Amino acid sequence: MTNSATNLRLKLPMACIILEVIIIILFGTLVQYDDETDAKLWHKEIANGSSNYDNDFYYRYPSFQDVHVMIFIGFGFLMTFLQRYGFSSVGFNFLIAAFALQWATLMQGFFHGMHGGKIHVGIESMINADFCTGSVLISFGAVLGKTSPVQLLVMSVIEVTLFAVNEFIVLTVLGAKDAGGSMTIHTFGAYFGLMVARVLYRPNLDKSKHKNCSVYHSDLFAMIGTIYLWMFWPSFNSAVTAHGDDQHRTAMNTYYSLAACTLATYGLSAVVAHDGKLDMVHIQNAALAGGVAVGTAGEMMLTPFGSMIVGFLAGTISVLGFKFLSPILEQKLKIQDTCGVHNLHGMPGVLGAIVGAVTAALATKEVYGDGLVCLFFTSWESSGDVEASFQGIRQAISLAVTLGIALLGGLITGFILKLPIYGAPPDTICFEDGIYWEVSLATTPSHFVWMNGHTGLTDLYIVFV
């Protein structure tokens, strides 16, 4: 199935080797352990009365483990719903995540972690690199099945760089709060990917339409990703929040938001799906929207019932988006969003940013007490003389900045990826593992057939491709 246009014998090795050599050189030149990782510096802290258990590793590593599982298993398996693209969904997710977390360490360190001309790395920088990688994987979902691994690596280089720029502007310059990344991760990744997909629009993609769908076992694999993401999302949103009440509150708000979102998803799916049956696409995706939507306001005093309202709204708009908006995006705006990232990450991310702005604008000393200054330290200058309404404005401006950088960056990236040098698949063989992978067709069942109207296992025949 591979031809000269899609053959990666030279393209992929060159991309991987060149990029990794550049990264190793930059790490050797710029990167060093932070104070809690360096042997000499940490033992100075111990000599001054610190305990080994004061090391941030023991507070952050459990959350890092959860986030890491989400990135490599959650996102990877969530995209295995395509019937003949499972190798690529998990495999390319693995490839670009492994690259992006390295590049993100450099780009985020350049903007956030420079000390004396060096980038200091530790457990928190590992978590932040995974966050940035998550944004790239969201964009990957929008172009799934239509791009080569070389295109995905090039997209990762550009997106990670722009992610770090946007994150610096939003969190440092504007002083916004976005612990769970409703704006910086989900909104940015979704609209960046959608714009790339728009530029890479394929007018003849209907030639591969029969492969742009799921079968029973591929949807079951995708549910593995959904469950992993759903379980660990409280860790994702709370991973880098301040120790104590902030982290505790963020995890709890996410917990309740996800639960309410799931009920809304099941209810709305039965309403809008065919014959009142549940649609697996809705369950796999919309049930996660509550975690996206509570990302910005999760560390604020949103309250458990407020979190439930946010989760319920997120699940509702996500299901409705899959049912009614996705066809419009493809037919009218020519955006072929394979995974529906606009419904899971885009709209819920914008909702989360709006909820964060409103919640910040309504913050009062009576509700937060001394926690008001602690929570909004970067934007309240710790003096308490900045009005809550102004913090809400900062949050709203940050959303606009994020959308602007994502859309413009995606537009430019799309045109770069459109160059005919990356081994992209033609319209006739998109969504097909056999282009880039060694696939044993004799062991790949495409569908199941039941004979003679019976349901016994002895009557089940597997029809091979």
| pLDDT, tens digit (0-9, with 9 covering 90-100), for 378-427 | 544 544 555 677 889 999 999 999 999 999 999 999 999 999 999 999 99
What mean pLDDT value characterizes the chain? 91
Alpha carbons 198 and 336: distance in angstroms, whole number: 7
pLDDT band, residue 252 (cuts 50/70/90): very high
Q: Which of 87-96, 156-165, 445-454 has the lowest mean pLDDT?
A: 445-454
Residue 11 has a CB neighbour count (10 Å cut-off) of 18
Mean pLDDT of 209-232: 95
82 vs 339: CA distance, rounded Å: 10
In this prediction, residue 386 carries a pLDDT of 56
Element (H, E) at 82: none
Q: pTM score > 0.85 for this model?
A: yes
- Tokens read off for 449: 């057939």
Q: Is the pLDDT of residue 465 over 70?
A: no
pLDDT at 2: 58
pLDDT for the residue 264: 98
* Mean per-residue pLDDT, 445-456: 40
What whole-number distance in Å separates Cα of residue 246 and Cα of residue 238? 8
More confident residue, 447 or 11: 11
Higher pLDDT, 128 or 443: 128
Q: Encoding tokens for residue 252?
A: 């709890």
User: Which amino acid is it at 160?
Assistant: V
- Which pair of tokens denotes residue 315? 């699940």
- Is it the case that residue 453 has pLDDT exceeding 50? no
Which tens digit of pLDDT belongs to each residue from 180-208?
A: 999 999 999 999 999 999 999 999 999 99
What is the arithmetic mean of pLDDT over 320-330?
96
Identify the CA nearest to 264 among candidates 230, 229, 325, 310. Answer: 310
Cα–Cα distances in angstroms (integers) from residue 372 to residues 60, 247, 294, in the given order: 24, 15, 19
Q: What is the mean pLDDT of residues 126-140?
A: 98
What percent of the chain stands above pLDDT 90?
A: 84
- How far, in Å, CA of 291 to CA of 140, rounded? 19
Looking at 16-20, 30-34, 260-264, 439-443, which range is the least confident one? 439-443
Residue 376's pLDDT is what? Answer: 75
pLDDT tens per residue, range 6-43: 889 999 999 999 999 999 999 999 999 999 999 999 99
Q: What is the mean pLDDT of residues 299-313?
A: 97
Q: What is the mean pLDDT of residues 234-256?
A: 96
The CA-CA-CA angle for residues 185, 322, 141, to 5°, reads 40
Asked if residue 308 lies in contact with residue 259, where contact means CB atoms within 8 angstroms, the answer is yes
Structure confidence at residue 114 (pLDDT): 86
Distance (Å, whole) CA 149 – CA 347: 27
Pairing, β 445-450 against β 118-121: unpaired
Does position 247 have pLDDT exceeding 60, yes or no? yes
Could you give all domains of the chain from N- to C-terminal order, each with its CATH number? 11-435 (1.10.3430.10)
| 446 pLDDT above the threshold of 80 | no
> Quick check: 134 and 189 in contact, CB under 8 A?
yes
Residue 347, pLDDT > 80, answer yes
* Tokens describing residue 439: 């696939």
Beta bridge partners of 33: 121
The order of strands in the sheet holding 114-115 is 31-33, 118-121, 114-115
Q: Reply yes or no on whether the pLDDT at 445 is more than 80.
A: no
Parallel/antiparallel/unpaired status of strands 445-450 and 114-115: unpaired
pLDDT band at residue 375 under the 50/70/90 scheme: confident
Predicted confidence (pLDDT) at residue 69 exceeds the cutoff of 60: yes
Residue 444 zone, left/alpha/beta (φ > 0; ψ -120 to 50; rest): beta
pLDDT of residue 441: 59
* Non-local CB neighbours of 16 within 8 Å, separated by 6+ positions: 99, 153
Per-residue pLDDT, 377: 58
